Amino acid sequence: DEIDPYRAHSQQTDSSQQALYDSIDPFSEASQVAEPWGEQATDTACADRDDSESEDNAEPESQSSSVQHQTSNPAQPVPQLPVLRFTVGQMVDRSKRTPGFTFEVMTTIPSYKGRKYTGVERNQIEFERLEAHLRSTYPECLVPTLGPGTTTSKYVPDYQNDRLVVLLLQQWLNRVSVHPILRQDYELRQFVEAPFAFNPALTSSSAVGGSALSIAPQQGSGFFSWGKPKQRVVRSANPSPFDQQLETTADNMDAFQKNLSDTRRWHGRQARTRARLAIDLKDVGTKLVSVGVIEHNSGLGRSMKRLGKCFLHVGACAQTQSNLEGSRAIAVQDMYTVACDNVQKTLSNRQLIFTEHQVSERQLERKRQSVAVLRASATISPDQVQETLAEFNVAKTDADSKRQRAERVDKVLAADLQAFEANREGDFRALFSALGRDQLHIERQVLGEFKAVLDFVRHANDSSSSSTTSLAK
Reported as type and span, the H/E element at residue 161 is none
DSSP conformational letter for 377 = -
Instruction: Tell me the H-state helices in 295-381.
Output: 298-376
CB of 241 within 8 A of CB of 38? yes
pLDDT number for residue 440: 93
Dihedral sign from CA coordinates of 329, 143, 37, 352: positive
CA gap 46, 33 in Å, rounded: 12
Mean pLDDT in residue range 399-422: 88
Categorize the per-residue pLDDT at 107 as very low, low, confident or very high, splitting at 50, 70 and 90.
very high
Low-confidence winner among 26-35, 341-350, 443-452 (lowest mean pLDDT): 26-35
CA gap 357, 350 in Å, rounded: 11
User: pTM of the entire structure?
Assistant: 0.72
**Residue 127 pLDDT greater than 90, yes or no:** yes
Query: 415-459 pLDDT, tens per residue?
Result: 999 999 999 999 999 889 988 898 999 999 999 999 998 888 888
Low-confidence winner among 42-51, 246-255, 346-355 (lowest mean pLDDT): 42-51
Better-predicted residue by pLDDT, 259 or 372: 259
pLDDT number for residue 130: 94
Give residues with Cβ within 8 angstroms of 156, minimum separation 6: 271, 275, 319, 322, 323, 326, 327
**Which residue type sits at 294?**
I
Low-confidence winner among 154-168, 170-184, 191-205, 312-326 (lowest mean pLDDT): 154-168
Contacts of range 150-155, beta carbons closer than 8 Å, 24 or more positions apart: 150/99, 151/91, 151/99, 151/327, 153/271, 153/323, 153/326, 153/327, 153/330, 154/268, 154/326, 154/330, 155/268, 155/271, 155/272, 155/275, 155/322, 155/326, 155/330
Categorize the per-residue pLDDT at 233 as very low, low, confident or very high, splitting at 50, 70 and 90.
low
**Residue 372 pLDDT greater than 80, yes or no:** yes
CA gap 216, 222 in Å, rounded: 11
pLDDT number for residue 40: 35
pLDDT number for residue 20: 61
CA gap 287, 296 in Å, rounded: 16
